[in-house]
Structure 1
Amino acid sequence: MVPTLLFYAAFAIGEAVCLAVAVNVTHGYPWRVRWVEKATLIILAACGVVSFELTRRYWLVPVSEWPTLLVGFAVACCLAALVGLPLATYARSRRSRSWREIPRERRDALQDAPRHEFIGDGPRSWMLKLPGNTSLHLETHDWSVTLPQLPAEMDGISILHLTDLHFSRAYDRRYFEAVCDVASDMPADLVFVTGDLIDDSECIEWIAPLLERLPGPLGRFAILGNHDHHHDMERIAAAVADGGFTVLDGEVATIDLNGRKLAVGGTCAPWGPDIPDAAIPPADFSMLLSHTPDRVYRAARQGWDFILSGHNHGGQIRLPVVGPILMPSVYSRRFEHGFFRVSPSLMYVSQGVGAKHPIRYGCTPEISRFTLVRAAAQAPRDQAAPQRAWVGR
Structure 2
Amino acid sequence: MNFVLLVLALVSHFGLRLAFYNRLNSFGWPRRRIKRIEKVAFVETWVTPFVIAWFWYEPLREIILAGGAWNMLPVALRVYGLSCLIAGGILFGLWIVWRPIFRVQHADVSRTTRTIIAGKQDVEQFARTSKCRAAAMIPGNQMLDLAVEHIDILLANLPRSLDGYRIAHLSDIHLTGHLHQTYLSRVIESASEWRPELFALTGDIVDVQECVGWLAELFGPASAPDGSVFILGNHDTRVSDPSQVRDEMEQAGWTNIGGRCQPYSLRQTDVVMMGNETPWFGRPSAEEIGQVRESLADDAFKICLSHSPDQYDWARRHGVDFLMCGHTHGGQGRLPLAGPILSPSWHGSRWASGDFYRAPTTMHVSRGLGGVHLLRINCRPELSLITLRRKR
8 Å contact kept, 2:330–2:379: yes
Q: Does 2:341 align with 1:330?
A: no
| SS of alignment partner, residue 357 of structure 1 | coil
8 Å contact kept, 1:122–1:171: no
Report what 1:63 is aligned to: 70
1:247 maps to amino acid:
N
Report what 2:250 is aligned to: 241
Cα distance, 1:257–1:354 mapped onto 2, change above 3 Å: closer
**Structure 1 residue 286: deviation in Å?**
1.2
| Unmatched tracts of structure 1, length 5 or more | 377-393
Kindly report which structure 2 residues correspond to 1:263-282, keeping only aligned pairs within 5 A, or say none: 263-280=272-289, 281-282=292-293
Q: Does 2:308 align with 1:308?
A: no
d(CA) in 2 for partners of 1:299, 1:66: 49
Report what 1:299 is aligned to: 315
Provide the TM-score with structure 2 as the length reference: 0.89
Report what 1:203 is aligned to: 211
Q: Does 2:270 align with 1:261?
A: yes
| SS of alignment partner, residue 92 of structure 2 | helix
Report Cα offsets for 1:184-203 as digits up to 9, x if no partner.
22221110000000112111
Cα distance, 1:73–1:262 mapped onto 2, change above 3 Å: same
Report Cα offsets for 1:150-201 as digits up to 9, x if no partner.
1112221111100000001222222222222222222211100000001121
Q: Give identity over the alignment, percent.
A: 28
1:135 to 137, 143, 146: 143
Stretch moving more, 185-194 or 367-376 = 367-376
Cα distance, 1:245–1:113 mapped onto 2, change above 3 Å: farther
Cα distance, 1:96–1:136 mapped onto 2, change above 3 Å: farther
Report what 1:188 is aligned to: 196
1:348 to 364, 367, 373: 364
**Structure 1 residue 300: deviation in Å?**
0.6
**Structure 1 residue 337: deviation in Å?**
0.8
1:200 maps to amino acid:
V
| SS of alignment partner, residue 221 of structure 1 | strand
Report what 2:13 is aligned to: 15
Cα distance, 1:202–1:7 mapped onto 2, change above 3 Å: same
d(CA) in 2 for partners of 1:113, 1:143: 29
| SS of alignment partner, residue 227 of structure 1 | helix
2:42 maps to amino acid:
L
d(CA) in 1 for partners of 2:315, 2:93: 30
The RMSD of aligned alpha carbons is 2.2
8 Å contact kept, 2:262–2:274: yes
Q: Does 2:157 align with 1:149?
A: yes
d(CA) in 1 for partners of 2:251, 2:102: 39
Cα distance, 1:130–1:37 mapped onto 2, change above 3 Å: farther
**Structure 1 residue 113: deviation in Å?**
7.7
d(CA) in 1 for partners of 2:107, 2:260: 32
Q: Does 2:259 align with 1:250?
A: yes
8 Å contact kept, 2:172–2:326: yes
d(CA) in 1 for partners of 2:88, 2:44: 21
Cα distance, 1:113–1:275 mapped onto 2, change above 3 Å: farther
d(CA) in 2 for partners of 1:240, 1:343: 33
Report Cα offsets for 1:28-73 as digits up to 9, x if no partner.
1111232422431332123202212213433325531323232122
Q: Does 2:51 align with 1:53?
A: yes
Q: Does 2:114 align with 1:104?
A: no
8 Å contact kept, 2:231–2:275: yes
8 Å contact kept, 2:98–2:104: no
Report what 2:65 is aligned to: none
Cα distance, 1:298–1:371 mapped onto 2, change above 3 Å: same
Report what 1:319 is aligned to: 335
**Structure 1 residue 112: deviation in Å?**
6.2
8 Å contact kept, 1:155–1:373: yes
8 Å contact kept, 1:23–1:40: yes
8 Å contact kept, 2:219–2:249: yes
Report what 1:384 is aligned to: none
d(CA) in 2 for partners of 1:136, 1:355: 11
Report what 2:66 is aligned to: none
2:123 maps to amino acid:
H
d(CA) in 2 for partners of 1:227, 1:207: 15
Cα distance, 1:95–1:213 mapped onto 2, change above 3 Å: farther
| Unmatched tracts of structure 2, length 5 or more | 63-68
**Structure 1 residue 97: deviation in Å?**
6.5
Provide the TM-score with structure 1 as the length reference: 0.88
Q: How many pairs are equivalent?
A: 374
Report what 1:383 is aligned to: none
Report what 1:178 is aligned to: 186
d(CA) in 2 for partners of 1:331, 1:192: 24
**Structure 1 residue 244: deviation in Å?**
0.9
